[in-house]
């Protein structure tokens, strides 16, 4: 009903995914799939197998995957998955694989998530996001609540493009102070992009943010800035920026 921006208020990319089906020219094609799993009596461990066969004429494909879920305790969960696909597009056969493992801990005051993901360029049955294909990622992010009003957040990540071996290193940390009508944050960001031709682009940023609610929280004013600490911010995804925003709530249904 309205245009979709390419990025949100925090400059994160926004993607549109369109799904469609087309009628085959002749004959009947069968697409079938299923998943079977076994799990322990206490439901703490589950192992599953998935299989998909797509018999669409001219675009035959198959997928086989194995997944694991292990609820280590009430606060810690481990999930893992590996899959491979074989496809034929325009008479050309291709194959690829993908793997992921994630450990998540949600405590009373501390949340931690660590993950590894890798998706080949040729993996998938046509439904894979272009942002995930051909990428290997390692990362960890954590957040902790200190007292009633303070939060500490941090993340570190390593990303490699499988085709070009371009690498991105990222480290971010932030301290946030929150009250009912006011919040403030301060943090540091280091992003480094290393390309296979030897070029390196780095952004070292000081991140500051303020939010204030006025008039019984009907009006919200906010400002966020990212300033380069030394040289220019060279990473395309982590530029210097200054964002002002205002939200006004007319009634319970309209902002």
Per-residue pLDDT at 129: 74
Note whether 242 and 209 are within 8 A (CB). Answer: no
Q: What are the residue ranges in the chain where pLDDT is below 50? A: none
Contacts (Cβ under 8 Å, ≥6 apart) of 150: 175, 176, 177, 178
- Bin 147: left if φ > 0, else alpha if -120 < ψ < 50, else beta: left
Distance CA 180, CA 177 (A): 10
pLDDT tens across 15-35, in order? 888 888 776 666 778 899 999
Per-residue pLDDT at 232: 82
Per-residue pLDDT at 197: 86
Distance CA 76, CA 97 (A): 27
Note whether 244 and 217 are within 8 A (CB). Answer: no
Distance CA 167, CA 191 (A): 11
Note whether 96 and 122 are within 8 A (CB). Answer: yes
Residue 123: how many CB atoms within 10 A of its CB?
A: 22
Q: How far is CA 143 from the centre of its chain?
A: 17
Distance CA 120, CA 95 (A): 9
Per-residue pLDDT at 24: 62
Note whether 120 and 128 are within 8 A (CB). Answer: no
Q: Which stretches within 57-131 are classed as H helix?
A: none
- The terminus-to-terminus CA distance of the chain in angstroms comes to 16
The beta strand positions in 124-238, using DSSP E, are 135-146, 150-161, 167-178, 182-194, 200-214, 219-228
Q: Which two tokens stand for residue 183?
A: 């919040």
pLDDT tens across 113-150, in order? 999 999 998 898 877 777 778 899 999 999 999 988 99
pTM of the model: 0.76
Per-residue pLDDT at 25: 66
């Amino acid at each position: 009903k309205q245009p979709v921006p390419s990025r949100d208020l925090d400059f994160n990319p926004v993607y549109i995914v369109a799904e469609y089906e087309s009628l085959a020219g002749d004959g009947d094609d069968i697409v079938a799939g299923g998943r079977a799993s076994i799990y322990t009596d206490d439901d703490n461990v589950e192992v599953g197998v998935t299989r998909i066969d797509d018999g669409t004429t001219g675009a035959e494909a198959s997928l086989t995957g194995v997944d694991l879920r292990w609820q280590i305790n009430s606060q810690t969960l481990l999930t893992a998955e590996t899959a491979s696909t074989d496809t034929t597009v325009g008479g050309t056969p291709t194959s690829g694989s993908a793997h992921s493992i994630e450990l998540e801990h949600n405590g009373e005051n501390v949340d931690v998530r660590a993950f590894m993901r890798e998706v080949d360029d040729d993996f998938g049955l046509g439904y894979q996001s272009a942002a995930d294909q051909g990428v290997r990622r390692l990362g960890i992010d954590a957040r902790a609540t200190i007292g009633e009003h303070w939060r500490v957040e941090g993340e570190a990540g390593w990303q490699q493009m499988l085709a070009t071996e371009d690498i991105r290193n990222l480290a971010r940390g932030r301290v946030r102070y929150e009250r009912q009508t006011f919040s403030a944050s301060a943090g540091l960001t280091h992003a480094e992009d290393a390309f296979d031709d030897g070029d390196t682009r780095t952004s070292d940023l000081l991140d500051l943010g303020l939010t204030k609610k006025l008039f019984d929280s009907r009006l919200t004013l906010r400002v966020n800035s990212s300033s380069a600490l030394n040289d220019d911010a060279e990473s395309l995804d982590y530029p210097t920026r200054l964002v002002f925003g205002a939200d006004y709530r007319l009634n319970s249904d309209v902002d």
